[in-house]
Structure 1
Amino acid sequence: MAKVLYSATMSLDGFIAGPGGDMSWLTPFLGPNPTAEQLVPRIGAVLVGNRTFGGDDPHKGTEKEGAFEGAWHGPTFVLTHHPPARAQGDVVFVTDLHEGLAAAREAAGDRYVNVLGAEVARQLLAAGLLDEILVFAAPVLLGGGTRLYDGDGQVTLERLSSSESPLANALWYAVRR
């Protein structure tokens, strides 16, 4: 069964998006990263929050637009309270966290369900459904915005691996239950 992985690039002060969802801060830290490049083929489906799905993309309008600088192509499940009337390619809009995760897991097979969006990750953590967290730590301080985790209580993690990259170091953890 698919493991559920939350991945994000984070500033050293804990933000994954700047004020108002601004993602332009991320541009200088995008580029070759072996951990991210090795992850993409291990993803079988993406579960993303609606704010993240419709949010700011520093590569909008280019061939690198989308998750993992445009490298991800596959089933995407968007968790939203207000799904659009019309489908968008291989994007499925879901209104229930558990149903969305079940559909994403089925689509992922034995590969990862990759979670994008702090609120979806927080909900999965609260429900005990998140298995791993991968953070790309970028050497910048944003001072405000959307935190990687803004949940209720402490979550204990166990380090699986870490690697250095010139643009952002990768820190991979298992969620202890």
Structure 2
Amino acid sequence: MAKMLYSVSMSLDGFIAGPGGDMSWLTPYIGPNPVVTDVIERIGALLVGKRTFGGDDPHRGTEKEGKPFGGGWEGPQFVLTHHAPADPVPGVTFVDDLQKAVAAAKEAAGDKYVNILGAEVARQCLTAGLVDELLVFIAPLLLGDGVRLFDHAGGHKVRLERLSQSETPLATNLWFRVVR
């Protein structure tokens, strides 16, 4: 059975995107990371928020632009949105209900991870008790403003158990299990 994993890169001050969803801050921190390589091989499907799907790309202007993990991963993608595009996108299914999107992504992933991409869809999954694990790559940078890792006024506590911690020159990797 597939597990739900939210993997994300974050600045030390808690931002996953700059103002307006700008992802250019991340470009200098994309590089060799054995944890990233390992997790990409263990992903069976993506659950993506609409803003993330159509948003900025840290690979902008390169041949890797628009490809999940810069082209390091291929497979089924499920985009959570109430406004699907008129024209189909190969390999992408647009779903307007969180529970249906999660069920479809889990089925497609098999025994691998469903990797969640996007702050809002991750927040919704966490609030609904659907996230099994979190993998945060902390970049050595204070971004100062932008989209927070989790921004939920009146939110609730979520207990985590650290599974692993490691470092590369470009990031500190923290992997957690959600304690239920």
TMscore range, shorter length: over 0.9
Counterpart position of 1:116: 117
Counterpart position of 1:138: 139
Q: Deviations over 1:20-44 (max 9, x none)?
A: 1010100110011110011111000
Counterpart position of 2:71: 70
Deviates more, 1:57-66 or 1:105-114: 57-66
Give me the TM-score of the superposition, normalised by structure 1: 0.97
Q: 1:61: Cα distance to partner? A: 4.2
Structure 2 residues without counterparts, runs of 5 or longer? none
Once residues 173 and 69 of structure 2 are traced to their aligned partners in structure 1, the CA distance between those partners, rounded to angstroms, is 14
Q: Deviations over 1:133-158 (max 9, x none)?
A: 00000000111111111121221110
Counterpart position of 1:163: 166
Alignment identity in percent?
Answer: 68
Counterpart position of 2:30: 30
Could you tell me which amino acid in structure 1 is paired with residue 160 of structure 2? L
Q: How many residues align?
A: 177
Counterpart position of 2:16: 16
Structure 1 residues without counterparts, runs of 5 or longer? none
Contact 1:40 1:72 in 2 (8 A): yes
Q: 1:80: Cα distance to partner? A: 0.6
Give me the TM-score of the superposition, normalised by structure 2: 0.95
Contact 1:131 1:174 in 2 (8 A): yes
Counterpart position of 2:88: 87
Could you tell me which amino acid in structure 2 is paired with residue 15 of structure 1? F
Once residues 72 and 60 of structure 2 are traced to their aligned partners in structure 1, the CA distance between those partners, rounded to angstroms, is 14
Q: Deviations over 1:56-77 (max 9, x none)?
A: 0021342322322221110000
- Which consecutive segments of 4 or more residues in structure 1 shift more than 3 A? none
Deviates more, 1:4-13 or 1:62-71: 62-71
Counterpart position of 2:177: 174
Contact 1:40 1:71 in 2 (8 A): yes
